[in-house]
Every structure is written in structure tokens, then in C-alpha cells.
A and B are shown apart, each in its own frame.
Chain A
Amino acid sequence: MSAPVPAPPVSGYRSPHARGGAGFGRLLHAEWTKLRTVRRWGYALIGAVVLTVLVALLAAGGSEIKGGGPSGPTLGPNGRPVSDGFRFVHQPLTGDGTVTVRVDSLVAQKNQRPNGREGSAAPWAKAGLIMKASTLPGSTYAAALLTHSHGVRFQYDFTHDVAGSDAPPDRPRWLRLTRAGDVVTAYESADGVRWDKIGATEAPDLPETVHVGMFVASPMAYNFERAFGSTGVDGTFTLSTGTFRDFSVDGRTEGPPRVTDVGAQGSGPGASGDGDAPTSPAGVTDAQGNSSSESGGVHTIVSTGDIAPMEADVDLTQQGLSGAVIGLIPLAALGVLFITAEFRRGMIATTFTASPRRGRVLAAKAVVLGGTTFVAGAVAAAVAFVVSQPLLRGKGHRPPVYPELTLADGSVLRAVSGTALVLALVAVLALAVGALVRNTAASVTVIVVLLVLPQILVAGLPLGAARLVVQATPAAGFAVQRTIEDFPQVESACLPEDGCYPQGAGAGLAVLCVYVAVALGLAVWQLRRRRA
């Protein structure tokens, strides 16, 4: 039936309008227009802010410290709370000098468990040499020491820790500290002949006369046990025994070595006129079980305690930002709807006829959604932080144990912007899941299960599984909310249900980013392959 068609008189249409391109910036503008022109989506953003703030207020309101919290913690040279308690066999040293000792062994006592099974030893039990401004707790110091399971270390002023060799605690090790002006240098040796430098530090706060000597400290040991459907922490005092030989001080010193229990009862500030703690005679065992003895040049010191920074048990910043876990629900719904609403109405066909490159469309959506939710998340996090801090302080979280923080503090700023970033990434993850699943309800549920359920389940899981959950699910991203500095030289009871993430902030965020990247990749692949 095909017949020749008479040629039309016109040769094609030319638009008289001026035309621009359709680059990625234009695509962003289009997607931004889509996002801001649906009123419900604006409500979702507001809802996220409101929920985040409300849950933060609830969490803050329900976190009273009974009895006003720990009173009068020891403060280190930089004003932060520290643990500073140990048995110290010391002599004064005026001006430059060197102190040397051979640590024969460090025996860390394992804590006892009721069933007779042996518990774990404190891995950071330590024995070695210390050079300290005074015997008052919190004074500045530098120490070379042998640990139970972390080899030889050079530590100073509580927060600093330099690793030396991996020497085991049951073999003799020589240690040496040298002071030359303001510089303290630490050395170690396997034979007392060839010396290796561990590290050095400027110590301008050390007075002309310092106390040098041997010490042993043995921090708490933790056992994690399961009972009543959750993980319990059992922290016990430990005593460790250090055996020293050939202790020598090369420099201006005087008198025989004296013994002080730094940080013990009665050794607090103001207990003694000259700023030093009272000394106890050698060989006496005190209430804590500390003792020391000397026979034939061999010093034996048994002591508990620690010389280390003290970690706060509550992270006020994290507490203030905790509402984000719930605030993410409306954002997840928004992220999912940003694409499933188009599938549902068939509008995706209009979108793809206007922009046939589907990967770019998803990228533009991700950028617009991520940017918008980041801003909403930042507002939510900042407001939640600001309103929760006074409430938390009113509930007993006061300095110096709980430092007074403001938005301008670096760690707070990082946590707040990190929270905003996590919320934005969650929204983008929701977008990608929505593009893959195409069903609104199922997609929202997947996101909520991945991010919120872990927070509920960790409390009932054994420690290993709970740690795995907060490390491997997208919820790992919330590690950025933690501002408490984790010092490797302190063993702490890191329980996921208390908001502790075994990994760092960066690693947690990276896990979330991997989820987002994989989901986006799959979504692009599916969008290209499947019918729109």
C-alpha cells in the first residue's frame, strides 16, 4: 500500500529562539528545582531537624549524674584529668644528669575470676624510670618504661607515648633517661653497652631539681562477660611486680632513695609544705597492696595505679548529637522519594527524555540531595548541640571532667560537620537504594534497618558481634560524632552500646562511603539496563 508521498514544500523547522547548552550545571539546577517545589519534601527536612533536636534533648534530660559526678580529679600539666598514682623509689637530681637501671622483669598479676579461671593481665602494666617535677600527682614528667604487652615506651606528660622496641616483660632490659637543659632523652639497651635512643622531648616545665627513680604502675584490667542478655564489664585492680638492678644516678644528687606513693591518700596538693608528697619507709605495704624492698642492690616494687590520661566516660558532644540516628528517618524517606516518586508517576520518562544520560541524572540528584541534606543536617546538629549542652551541664556534667565545649572547638566542629555529612550520605544511600528497589516503602525500610536497628541490637549482642556491627554496617559512620580522644596507651572498656566505636572517625565514615559508592554504582548500572 506504500505510495510515494508528495514532498512537502517546507524544508524543516528552525527555531528562532536563542539556545543554551544542557551541561551538568543545568541538570543540577533542574534537580534542585524539582526538590524545592514539592512542599512535603521541605517538611521532611524540617522534620529531620526537629527530631534530631528533640531526641538530643531527651537524651540530655535523662542523663543525670547522681551525686554530682567524680569530684576533684587529678589534673595534668595541660589541665586535663589524668590518672597519676604509683609507687616511686626516687632521689632528687639537680641540673643535668643521667639515670640508668636494669629492669630484670615485670610480672603483671592477672586478675582473679570467681570460677578460678585466670583473667587477663593489664597490658599496660609498666615498670621503668621516671623523671618528675615533684611527687605531687599531676606534675610534669618523662619516663622510659617496659610494659607488659606493648614493649618499651617513652612517655611524657600523660598524653605523649613513643614506642621503643618490642622487648618482652620477662627478659632484662636496660633503660636510661638523660636530662640536658630542657631536653630529656630516653634510651634502651639489651645489654647495657649498646644504647638505642627511643625519643626525646623538650621539657621546659621541669624545675632545676627533679625527682628521678624507679616506678611500677599497674592499671585496671577488664574482663568482658555476658550475663542477663548483655555484655558486662568487670574491671579489677591489679598489682604488678617490677624487679630492678644497678640503679644509678649520674649527676648532682643527695641522700639515699626515698619511697613515695604518688597519688595515695594524704599525698594530695597542700599535704606538704615544700610541694612534695610525704614519703613512706621502704618495705611497708600500704592499703592498696603497694610495697617495695631492696636487698643487695635489687629493688623490688609492687604497685597498682597508672600514669596516663583519664578518659571521660560520657562524650557530651556525642550525647548532644545522638538524635541524628532518629533524625535520619525523614531524610531517608526524602532520599528514597526523590527518585521513587518519579518511577511511580512515570515522570522518570520525562526526566530521561530531557537528559538521556541516566548516570548523570543520578549524579545530579545525588549532588543536589546531598547538598541540601548536608545543610539541614548541619543545622540539626548545631542546634541539637547548642541546646543540649546547658541541659547536660545542669545534670552534673561539669568541668574539669566534662570540659565545657562550644561550637568553635575543633573537635565539636568536626563532630557537627561529620554528623551533617553522615546524614547527607544516608540520604544519598537512600536515593541509590530507591533507584535500585523502586519501591518507596521497601527502600525506606532497608535504610532504617541498616542504620537504626544496629543501635538497638548492639546492647544485646556479645562484645565481638556488637563491635562487628558498629564497624561493618553503615551505622559505622556515626563514629564521627565521638570527640573523646582515644589514647592507645590506655586500655578502656569500649562498649558499642555506650557509643564507643572501636574504629576511628575516619574509618567509620569510610565504611559508610563504601556503602554509598557501591549502592550508587549498582543504581547507575540498573538505571542504564532496566526500563525507565
Chain B
Amino acid sequence: MSAGPAQAGARPGSVTAEAGRARRHACRAEFAKSASLHSTWWLLLAVAGLTVVLGAAAVGTVDTDQCRTPSSCHEDTVKLSLTGVWVGQTAVAVFGVLAVAGEYGTGTMRVTLAAMPDRTRVVAAKASVVAALTAVSALLAVAGSVAVGRVLLSDAGFTRANGYEPLSLADGATARAAFGSVVYLMLVALLSVGLAFVVRDTAGAIGGVLGLLYAFPVAASLVSDDAWKEWLTRLAPASAGLAVQSTRDLDKLAIAPWPGLGVLSLYAAGALVLGGFVLCRRDA
């Protein structure tokens, strides 16, 4: 903000390089801030741990014996193994919210803004670092879930003989579901960061994120009208976003995998833009 247009225009060649350096510095600062908090590592561990544990629990309850014939289960084994993302995303939300609202709570935000007066850059740096750290633990979470699912599923009768290929990331649809889940978790992190910049208050932000993620699916389970159900699923950030986990019966989905993830991206982008706008407009 202090850099006037005249200054910026004086040496046009070096402006981009300087901006790039500033961006790198901002990201490094944000990373240092995040990495120096114990809670960051606990939360990232929780993302991976909760995802794998709930995924294993979900897979563990299902058996081909529950179907008329083993092959008539039509079980989406990939999606089932990745069920844990439903709970893992809560830790991601906490992480994203705390990264921002925690700073407001302790007053660190004033220090941050004093060090980096360009507020758009603050939002961008924070979003990048949170998303990158989330991606690392999401990769662990998804890889762990698929590995655990592969072992448990074959024990439960989901074998090649019954028409179920063992889970493998070499399979195109499985890879899409796994990669999509990682992207999903990153988008949830961005949504949380954006919303926290808007609300500024830990409790309000986490309540808002969890409400967005959970209220739509609950409402969809409450209505009996199929058209309403379909629309609620399409509009819901969580349900639409997690369509990317489906590998079977794609024609039955309310929204296709990638457009579903697109819906979530719109939410995340909207939250970040609004968050940036609020940060720039309001006093810190």
C-alpha cells in the first residue's frame, strides 16, 4: 500500500522480481509461524490419523455377505475406503481456522500486518502455506486409507473372484478419487482460511465451516423428494466435492466428480475473496 504507482512505474523491469521475492518471503514467514506451533503438527497428524481410522472402521463393517450375491453389492470400494475424509476434513477445518482466527485471538495479526502491509499478500501467503501443509497430510491420509482398505476389503469378500479389483492407485478411477480427495481437503482448508478472515472469531469461523460442510448433507437426508435431494447434494460443498470419490455408477451421481469439486472450489474462492476484501477494508 505504501508503494505508490509512481515508484512502481519507475523501474518496471525489477518490479516483478521484487514482487516475487516479497511473495516468497511472505510464504516463508507464514510457514515459520505455522511450523513453530505444536498445534499445527498435531492437527496435521489428526487429519491423517482420523481419516485412516474412520476409513478402516467404515470398510470393516461392510462384507459381501450383506448382499444378495457378492457381485450384487455394487459396492464402491474406493469411495468406501475414503469415507474417513468426512471426519479428517474437520481437523483440516480446525487447522485452517486457527491459522487465521488464532492470530486475531492473540493479537499476532497486528504484528503480521505491520510486517506485511500488503494485505492481499497476507491472505495469499497464508492460504498457500495452509493448503500446502494440508496437502502433505492429506496425501498421507489418502494413501493410508487406500492401503488399509485394500487389505480389509479382500478379507471381507471383495475379491477379484467376486468382481472387485483390489484397490490400486494405478487404476485411473481410483487415482482420480484419491487425488481428488487430496484436492478436496486442500479446498476445505482454503474455505476455512477465507471464512476465518471474514469472521475473525475462532468459534464463529469453525461453526460456519462445519455448518457449511455438514448442514447440507443432513438436510439432504431429511428431505424425501428426490429432486430436492439432488439439488441439495449439488449445492453442498461437502457432498458435491466428495463426488470425486465415486468410481462406480457415475451416472447415478447428482453431480459428476470434477464439476462437484468445482462447486467446492467456488465456495473456497468466494470465501477467500470475501476474506481478502474484509481484511483490506476493515481495521485489523
Contact = CB atoms under 8 A, between A and B. Distances in A.
Direct contact of A and B (CB under 8 A): yes
Given A62-B223, A114-B68, A325 B218 contact: yes
Interface in B203-250: 203-207, 210-211, 214-215, 217-219, 221-225, 228-229, 232, 249
B41 interface: no
Interface in B190-214: 201-207, 210-211, 214
Interface in B51-97: 58, 61-63, 66-69, 72-76, 79-80, 83, 86-87, 90-91, 93-94, 97
Interface in A49-86: 51, 55, 58-59, 61-64
Contacts of A61: 223, 228
A225 B207 contact: no
B78 to A, nearest CB: 11
A115 B68 contact: yes
B189 interface: no
A457 interface: yes
B204 A227 contact: no
B252 interface: yes
B259 interface: no
A59 B69 contact: no
A227 B75 CA distance: 7
Interface residues of A, number: 53
B101 interface: yes
Contacts of A463: 66
Contact of A457 (B62, B63, B86, B224): B86
Nearest to B69: A115
A497 interface: yes
A456 B221 CA distance: 7
B14 to A, nearest CB: 42
Interface stretch (A213-221, A239-247, A354-362, A437-445): A437-445
B140 interface: no
Most chain B CB within a 10 A radius of its CB, from A40, A58, A319, A330: A58
B195 to A, nearest CB: 12
Contacts of A117: 68
Interface in A420-468: 439-442, 444-445, 448-449, 452-453, 455-457, 459-465
Contacts of B91: 445
A68 to B, nearest CB: 14
Nearest to B60: A465
Given A59-B222, A444-B210, A225 B66 contact: yes
B61 A227 contact: no
Nearest to B252: A228
Contacts of A497: 221
A322 B68 CA distance: 33
A326 interface: yes
B98 interface: yes
Nearest to A466: B61
Given A225-B68, A229-B80, A455-B221, A460 B58 contact: yes
B20 interface: no
Nearest to B102: A441
Contacts of B223: 58-59, 61-63
Interface in A15-67: 40, 51, 55, 58-59, 61-64
Residue among A51, A55, A448, A459 having the largest count of chain B Cβ atoms under 10 Å: A448
A441 B72 contact: no
A392 B225 CA distance: 12
- Which of A440, A455, A459 is most buried by chain B, counting CB atoms within 10 A of its CB? A440
Nearest to B94: A441
Contact of B93 (A58, A226, A329, A445): A445
B105 interface: yes
A333 interface: yes
A467 to B, nearest CB: 11
Among B39, B202, B252, the one with the most A-chain Cβ atoms within 10 Å of its Cβ is: B202
Given A325-B218, A329-B211, A452-B214, A441 B203 contact: yes
- Name the interface size band of chain B: 35 or more
A459 B68 CA distance: 19
Contacts of B210: 329, 444-445, 448, 452
Choose among B61, B79, B93, B232 the residue with the greatest number of A CB atoms under 10 Å from its CB: B61
Given A322-B222, A329-B211, A460-B83, A336 B73 contact: no
Contacts of A462: 61-63, 66
B99 to A, nearest CB: 10
Contact of A113 (B68, B76, B217, B232): B68
Contact of A229 (B69, B75, B97, B214): B75
A336 B221 contact: no
A227 B248 CA distance: 12
Nearest to A341: B203
Contact of B61 (A225, A330, A344, A464): A464
Contacts of B203: 333, 336-337, 440-441, 444
Contacts of B58: 457, 460-461
B69 A63 contact: no
Contacts of A55: 215, 218-219, 222
Nearest to A229: B76
Interface string B267-279: 0000000000000
B193 to A, nearest CB: 13
Contact of B222 (A58, A333, A439, A440): A58
B241 to A, nearest CB: 14
Nearest to B246: A229
Contacts of A325: 218
B225 A64 contact: yes
A229 B66 contact: no
Interface string A307-349: 0000000100001001001100110110011000000100000
Contact of B90 (A322, A336, A445): A445
Contacts of B218: 55, 325-326, 452, 455-456
Contact of A440 (B206, B211, B228, B232): B206
A444 B66 contact: no
Contacts of B222: 55, 58-59, 62-63, 319, 322
A455 B205 CA distance: 22
Contacts of A58: 219, 222-223
A188 B203 CA distance: 65
B214 to A, nearest CB: 5
Interface of B: 39, 58, 61-63, 66-69, 72-76, 79-80, 83, 86-87, 90-91, 93-94, 97-98, 101, 105, 201-207, 210-211, 214-215, 217-219, 221-225, 228-229, 232, 249, 252
8 contacts: A55-B218, A61-B223, A224-B66, A231-B66, A326-B218, A337-B203, A445-B206, A456-B221
Across the A-B interface, give the 5 residue pairs with the lowest CB-CB distance, nearest first.
Answer: A62-B223, A62-B228, A465-B61, A59-B222, A226-B66
Given A58-B223, A329-B215, A445-B90, 12 more contacts: A59-B223, A63-B224, A64-B225, A225-B66, A225-B67, A227-B67, A227-B68, A228-B249, A441-B206, A453-B87, A459-B221, A461-B62
